[in-house]
């Protein structure tokens, strides 16, 4: 077995070469290249977690914005409702007021018209009376040839008109 037979003649060159090669690997690769490789891996992992966190934050923000939008919309809707109701009640109140004013005016006009009507009726009646008195005096003078005083004729007309 060469491993045993050659121990004494080869141990120095084997161990020497091994130590040199291991030292080169240790300092040249394990301490120089290895940290950079791991740094790349770590940087990638960090980047991924950062990106995921950023995406989460953006998602949350979007939710927040949607929430505020919703509350604002609801508020605006409630506002609009109350404004509509107010406008409606105001409009009906206005209408009522104007209606009442118009009614009053109409009433006044009606009363005036009635008053003037009564006045003209009274005037017409008075005229009819005076015409009737004149006519009664004429009729009496023609039929009986007697002159009746205006006061007598008037009393007779009044009594006749009162009877209807």
Partner 1 sequence: MAEGGAVDPMHQFEVQPIFGTLGEGSFAFTNSTLWMLIALAALWIFMLGGMRRELVPGRWQLAVEGITGFVDNMISTTIGPEGKKYVPYIFTIFMFILFANLLGLVPIGIVGGHPFTVTSHFVITGMMAIMSFSIVLIVGFWRHKLKFFTLFIPHGTPAPMIPLIFFIELFSFLVRPFSLALRLFIAMTAGHILLKLFGSFVIDGINAGWTYGLIVAVPSFALMLFVSALEILVCAIQAYVFALLSTLYINDAVNLH
- Name the site residues for partner 1 (rule: CB under 8 A): 1-3, 6-19, 21-22, 24-26, 28-31, 33-34, 36-41, 44, 47
The minimum distance between CB 52 and partner 1, in angstroms, equals 15
- What does the alpha-carbon distance between residue 10 and residue 12 come to, in Å, rounded to a whole number? 6
Residue closest to 157 by CA, chosen among 124, 119, 143, 137: 137
Which helix H or strand E contains 59, and what residues bound it? helix 33-144
**Spatial separation of the C-alpha atoms in residues 69 and 82, rounded to whole Å:** 20
Nearer to partner 1, 33 or 128 (CB): 33
Nearer to partner 1, 26 or 69 (CB): 26
Phi, psi of 149 (to 5 degrees): -70, 155
Q: What is the nearest approach in angstroms of partner 1 to the Cβ of residue 22?
A: 6
28 vs 79 by CB, closer to partner 1: 28
Comparing CB distances to partner 1, the nearer of 13 and 149 is 13
* Closest distance of CB 79 from partner 1, Å: 51
- In the complex, what is the shortest distance from the CB of residue 15 to partner 1, in angstroms, rounded to a whole number? 5
Non-local CB neighbours of 136 within 8 Å, separated by 6+ positions: 148, 153, 156, 157
């Amino acid at each position: 077995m060469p491993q045993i037979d050659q121990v004494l003649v080869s141990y120095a060159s084997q161990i020497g070469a091994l130590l040199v090669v291991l030292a080169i690997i240790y300092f040249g690769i394990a301490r120089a290249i290895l940290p950079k490789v791991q740094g790349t891996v770590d940087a990638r992992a960090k980047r991924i977690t950062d990106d995921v966190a950023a995406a989460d934050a953006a998602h949350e923000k979007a939710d927040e914005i949607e929430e505020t939008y919703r509350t604002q919309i609801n508020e605006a809707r409630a506002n609009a409702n109350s404004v509509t109701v107010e406008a409606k009640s105001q409009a009906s109140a206005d209408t009522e007021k104007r209606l009442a004013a118009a009614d009053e005016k109409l009433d006044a006009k009606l009363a005036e018209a009635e008053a003037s009507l009564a006045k003209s009726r009274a005037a017409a009646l008075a005229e009819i009376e005076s015409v009737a008195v004149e006519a009664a005096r004429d009729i009496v003078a023609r039929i009986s040839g007697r002159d009746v005083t205006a006061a007598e004729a008037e009393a007779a007309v009044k009594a006749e008109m009162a009877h209807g």
